[in-house]
Amino acid sequence: MSKIKILGVGIIGIVLLGVLVLAYLGFVPVLSDLMGTNKPKDLGVSYSEVNYGSGLAKVPGSSVLNPEYLCVTCPYTSSGSVAVNTSFSQEEFTAMINKRNSTVGPLRDAQFKFNADGSVEASGLLIDPRITGPVYVKGKIDFANGRSAALKLDLAQIGNIPLPADQAKIAQDIANDTIQKTFAQNPGLSITSITIEEGKVNFNGTLPKDVSGDPNVVPVQYN
């Protein structure tokens, strides 16, 4: 089910890819050993296949093929729409993102945490021929309505190093541009409202009905 993946991309997960374009910082595996750790920040969110299944069940009538090839940067087929008005737990959300990036794609060991103040935290390990290392971001939904949404990024961090404000703004701008591309790729995605509460995201809108990953997919690389 690419539904939660799409939400992850559209709400905060895609920010991780925004950070990726800041590869000019020279963050490489050897450097990551020197600067901190190669492991993503632990947000205390654990998950299992049960969480993955319970998330799927909240979008009845949907069809998902080859979910392991629905990575964050993978081209995929998306059609139809299903009306959805429900809440997804942070465990379900995290399970969906990791399921879809388990075979291909640049994101591993992701965690998403939803806070009572409406903020979202995300951490994960970026794996790419040009840059590999843990990233962490924190932000809020600036707006989400219809076929448009935007993020406000409060903090972006590579390893243990916070990005300066101007570079974090670059990541935010790239993330918001990618969000709009996500809407374009998924005609069945629309938002009436999204709200963040402690441990969950409340979604009201439509999600794609049929989503199919391609076993021969080549993930998009961000230059």
Mean pLDDT of the chain: 79
Residue 130 has pLDDT above 80, yes or no: no
C-alpha to C-alpha distance for 133 and 156, rounded to whole angstroms: 13
- pLDDT at res. 162: 82
The average pLDDT across 25-47 equals 64
- Residue 1 confidence class, pLDDT cut points 50, 70, 90: very low
Higher pLDDT, 157 or 85: 85
Helix (H, G, I), strand (E, B) or coil at 113: strand
CA nearest neighbour of 59 among 188, 195, 197: 188
- Residue 129 confidence class, pLDDT cut points 50, 70, 90: low
Percent of the chain's residues with pLDDT above 70: 78
Chain-centroid distance of CA 97 in Å reads 7
CB 59 within 8 A of CB 3: yes
Q: If you write DSSP's letter for every residue of 186-219 in order, what string do you get?
A: -TT-EEEEEEEETTEEEEEEEE-SEEE--TT--P
Residue 15 has pLDDT above 60, yes or no: no
Residue 135 has pLDDT above 50, yes or no: yes
CA–CA–CA angle 88, 57, 81 (5° rounding): 85
47-91 pLDDT, tens digit per residue, is 999 998 899 889 888 888 888 888 777 888 999 999 999 999 999
Give the residue numbers spanning the domain of 82: 2-210
Residue 220 is assigned to a structural domain of this protein:
no
- Residue 200 confidence class, pLDDT cut points 50, 70, 90: very high
CA nearest neighbour of 172 among 17, 6, 5, 37: 17
The pairing of beta strand 210-212 with beta strand 107-114:
unpaired
5-9, 120-124, 168-172: which has the highest mean pLDDT?
Answer: 120-124
Residue 8 is assigned to a structural domain of this protein:
yes
Residue 29 has pLDDT above 50, yes or no: no
Residue 215 is assigned to a structural domain of this protein:
no
The total number of structural domains that make up the chain: 1
- pLDDT at res. 67: 83
